[in-house]
Structure 1
Amino acid sequence: MNLYRSARAVAGASGDDVIDWQSAADAAKAVTDPGSLELEPGEREAYARDVRDAREAVRTVADVEFDVPDTVEIQNRHHWIDANIATFERVMGTLENQFQTGAFPGVARTVNTGTMTVLLAFLGRNVLGQYDPLLLAENPEESHALYFVRPNILNAADKLDVDADRFRRWIAFHEVTHAAEFGAAPWLSDHLEARMEDGIAALSDGSFDRNAFRDLDAAMTVVEGYAELLMDHAFDGEYEDLRRKLDARRQGRGPLQKLFRRLLGLGLKERQYQRGKHFFETVVTGHGLETATLVWEGPEMLPTQDELDDPTLWLQRIDR
């Protein structure tokens, strides 16, 4: 790590945008140990086998045809930062007019670039795996992607005192379940993009589209909850100990790390997981997995915020 190189990259932020994205990426990598990609014999094939096995198991459980992304990468932390900088730029780009204020735009650019540096560095050191649907991509034909951040997986397995191979396999199954969701619902990417663009457009105009963000939160709650449902049925091993240890590790983080997680919305993701898990457990207990899968028939089948808290309302609406 090189704090001086990071600070120099942020201080040298330039260009016409509110964030110098290349400087943010360079600065984040300067303070982030990339980690090793020296794979053990057979390790690359083990990743591939985990993804293939997850695909077949999830296909069987969910009874839906889908495929894993063409892009499946074993990354170090720097690779992850490079892979995600374009996504951040696409999402934040429409907010430029909102933040391009003040008599000293260069100072604002430096502050914004520094903030993005901290965000990228924190995530780069903590993300284990990622299914990336490449929302808002300029090329609609651009394929989705699947990333595994090897140094973070090994580091987490060591700290949690769990078998690294089993932990890696669990991560692979979880990310492949997300690929299954987007495969089962071809409309899902467009729906998320539309609600995201509505919300960001309102922010750009200085207002807040509460409905857009509520709809986006509801959809992501379903995505997280259904992924856990498939994991319960598809994963070929015990994993409650892994979930329990990960939850305990999050609770044990220091005040600064907890603040970062709140600022980055990671606490929201955990809330979405809990609400989604409760919703689908209730539906499946009374009506089976086939009924739960109806959420992917179209946007109108997604539960509302009230229905997420009371699944019987959703079941009544769809006449089940």
Structure 2
Amino acid sequence: MRALLVVNPAATTTSARTRDVLAHALASDLKLEVATTEYRGHARDLARQAACGGDGTELVIALGGDGTVNEVVNGLLHEGPDPERLPRLAVVPGGSTNVFARALGLPNDVVEATGALLDALEAGSERTVGLGLASGVPGSDDAGAPARWFTFTAGLGFDAGVIGRVEQQRERGKRSTHTLYVRQVVRQFLGEPHRARGTITLRRPDAEPVEELALSIVCNTAPWSYLGNKPLYAAPQASFDTGLDVLGLSRLTPAAVSRYGTQLLTSGPDRGPRGKHATTLHDLSEFTLHSQVPLPFQMDGDHLGLRTNVSFTGVRRALRVIV
């Protein structure tokens, strides 16, 4: 099988020696080409070339974190989903959290994950997963925003602001740790101007709008994220086999944050955050989020700047993944 290994040399939990060993192990069973990313968006460009280049690539392996996986997915699906035609995706987790890989049931250790990948290839084990697609809303200020796929989550508002703060700290040389994330959650809360009355409205076909949301988290799978080895379930029913789920909170006062934060930390596969200021929606095919003011926007843990309008589509059976 002809395969492309896309390597992020800045992956948090791998070293150059480890990456070389893993590439050697994969090359023993595959006709492997190795490409190292050199700039933001390079993984997307490499995957797009593999999908459209006509060189017979059947598998693209992403060695890196969730950001690398997101870029590879967007490269593979540049011309739209076509699971039977497109190369399969495989993931060797090398980031700090690796939500997509762990949601698929893959080991969170790079060596173990490589062994699991080789076993899955030998057994022909794969599944076709659904993905989320976010784009600009026609007629709005964000109409020209390019469409982008996401694998496990997107968010408009508070959580995206936290991710933006984390990225700023990483640019200053800070390591991506769970402690860093917790500190930025506190700072985002203290600086949040819309925590008592939200600015976001969720609209979907044939339903009343949900208004004044201060936080909106879109989930394509569960768990939503991890704190160390602790899975966090913002939308426990979310699945790669259904549409998109949404958790919206209309209040981020100290009491509400304490209550919903505790619920999130104690959440499980059967129960997530709940209460009179919490809105949970399951298996949505399409909806839009509108904000009265520009808010931070993120996809798969990648901060994408400020948006006021975003359109979401849940696309079932979008891509084949080796598991």
Q: Computing the radius of gyration over CA atoms, which structure comes out larger, 1 or 2?
A: 1
Hey, which of these two has a bigger chunk of strand by percent? Answer: 2
Hey, which of these two has a bigger chunk of helix by percent? Answer: 1
Q: Considering the TM-score relative to the shorter chain, is it more than 0.5? A: no
Q: Compute the TM-score of the two structures, normalised by the length of structure 2.
A: 0.28
